[in-house]
């Protein structure tokens, strides 16, 4: 029998080789959420890591789902949302496993989502982008512009990993991409499903670790190629 | 028999099959209206091109815009083979994409079940 988790938030952390920081990420989430009245479950999607991400995450008491193979962040996020749907969560959220998102921003977003009846809320790192390198800011803006150009979805930070999903979004969102291009494709699918999309400013925490782990601008070219491919397949395929 | 007529006879069935496939997919709600309209345009364009191949060649030849030989039997076979190959490649691509989706779904379900 599947236990329903209505009125509970499913916090999904897709993680690939994040053993160094995953414990801190989970513990800081727990610390901040404990002070709030929000009921939550932390679900780590270990995307076929070759280090001990899985055991470190398990030691914190989080639910850990192990991908047998490394499938990419798009599939890891999809597994997380599938889990949230299966167990009847009313709200879900995804944050990066490298610790670049603040749990306080997450709580703020959950409150906005519930208050304003938004289906998909994106944390916008570019409004408070003081710590973000010019390179990264440029790459993110280009990708957001491309997302708007190809998919017609206007979001300032289309590649942000901090996303909050309503029940409607959990139940209806599906995408095909497995790589980082899923961020843009998800927005497009949300638009197709008539989901209400919005964003809110968040602060990204850049440590030397998260700077190493993040995408570089060369990967943006791959993402642009994939975005165009998905759009063409949708029309011609 | 005219080789241009052969070209039409060999290739039109593929275009009609393609049209029928698109119509079936649309009626079964597997493709959107936009995609169906594009398919419709694509296949009618192919049929139109096949029918117009001879008049276009004759008009270009008479106006001195081309000096190439008229279509040979080998050309007809070659064009037909290319169309069959393209048709096959597209079918394989669709099947591959569908299989990829299924594998992803199976992987998700197995991951969740084995993590319990």
Cα angle A49, A15, A85; round to 5: 120
Residues 6+ apart with CB under 8 A from B20: none
Domain residue spans of chain B: 3-114
Q: In percent, how much of chain A has pLDDT > 90?
A: 59
Residue A27, domain member (yes or no):
yes
Compute the nearest-CA separation of A140 from chain B (Å): 28
Residue A196, domain member (yes or no):
yes
Average pLDDT over residues A111-117: 90
So what's the ipTM on this one?
A: 0.74
Question: What CATH number has the domain bearing residue A70?
Answer: 3.90.550.10
Verify whether the Cβ–Cβ distance B104 to A86 is below 8 Å. Answer: no
Give the count of domains, chain A.
Answer: 1
Q: Which of A220, A233, A232, A72 is nearest to A146 (CA)?
A: A220
Residue A150, domain member (yes or no):
no
> Could you report the per-residue pLDDT of B20-77, keeping only the tens digit for each?
988 888 898 878 888 889 889 988 998 999 899 889 989 998 998 888 888 888 888 8
Contacts 24+ apart (CB under 8 A), B82-89: B83/B11, B83/B14, B83/B46, B84/B14, B87/B14, B87/B17, B87/B18
State the Cα–Cα distance between residues A11 and A43, nearest whole angstrom. Answer: 6
Q: Nearest CB to B112: which of A69, A83, A176?
A: A83
Residue A184, domain member (yes or no):
no
Q: Is B97 on the interface with A (CB under 8 A)?
A: yes
* pLDDT of res. B7: 87
Chain A partners within 8 Å of B103 (Cβ): none
> Could you report the per-residue pLDDT of A12-66, keeping only the tens digit for each?
999 999 999 999 999 999 999 998 888 999 999 999 999 999 999 999 999 999 9
Chain B partners within 8 Å of A234 (Cβ): 32, 35
Residue A115 structure tokens: 């208050």
Q: How many CB pairs under 8 A join A and B?
A: 47
Query: Which range marks the domain in which residue A49 is found?
Result: 9-125+159-175+189-214
Residue A228, domain member (yes or no):
no
Helices A22-35, A103-116: inter-axial angle, 10-degree rounding: 50
Residue A148, domain member (yes or no):
no
């Amino acid at each position: 029998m599947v236990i329903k988790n209505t009125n509970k938030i499913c916090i999904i952390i897709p993680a690939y080789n994040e053993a160094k920081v995953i414990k801190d990420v989970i513990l800081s989430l727990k610390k901040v959420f404990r002070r709030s009245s929000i009921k939550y479950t932390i679900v780590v999607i270990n995307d076929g890591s070759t280090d001990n991400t899985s055991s470190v995450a398990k030691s914190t008491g989080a639910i850990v789902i192990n991908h047998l193979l490394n499938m990419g962040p798009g599939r890891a996020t999809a597994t997380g949302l599938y889990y949230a749907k299966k167990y009847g969560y009313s709200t879900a959220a995804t944050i990066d496993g490298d610790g670049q998102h603040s749990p306080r921003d997450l709580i703020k977003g959950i409150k906005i989502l519930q208050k304003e009846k938004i289906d998909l809320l994106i944390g916008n790192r570019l409004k408070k982008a003081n710590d973000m390198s010019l390179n990264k800011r440029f790459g993110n803006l280009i990708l957001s512009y491309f997302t708007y150009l190809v998919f017609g979805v206007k979001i300032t930070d289309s590649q942000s990993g901090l996303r909050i999903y309503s029940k409607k979004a959990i139940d209806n969102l599906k995408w095909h991409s497995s790589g980082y291009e899923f961020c843009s494709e998800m927005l497009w699918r949300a638009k197709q499903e008539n989901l209400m999309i919005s964003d809110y400013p968040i602060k990204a925490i850049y440590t030397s670790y998260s700077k190493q782990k993040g995408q570089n601008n060369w990967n943006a070219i791959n993402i642009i190629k994939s975005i165009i491919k998905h759009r063409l397949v949708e029309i011609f395929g | 028999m005219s080789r241009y007529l052969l070209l039409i006879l060999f290739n039109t069935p593929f275009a009609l099959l393609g049209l029928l496939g698109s119509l079936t997919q649309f009626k079964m709600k597997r493709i959107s209206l936009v995609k169906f309209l594009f398919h419709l345009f694509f296949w009618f364009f192919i049929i139109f091109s096949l029918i117009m191949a001879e008049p276009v060649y004759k008009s270009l030849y008479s106006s001195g815009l081309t000096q190439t030989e008229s279509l040979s039997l080998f050309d007809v076979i070659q064009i037909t083979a290319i169309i069959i190959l393209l048709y096959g490649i597209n079918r394989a691509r669709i099947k591959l994409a569908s299989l990829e989706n299924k594998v992803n779904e199976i992987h998700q379900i197995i991951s969740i079940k084995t993590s319990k």
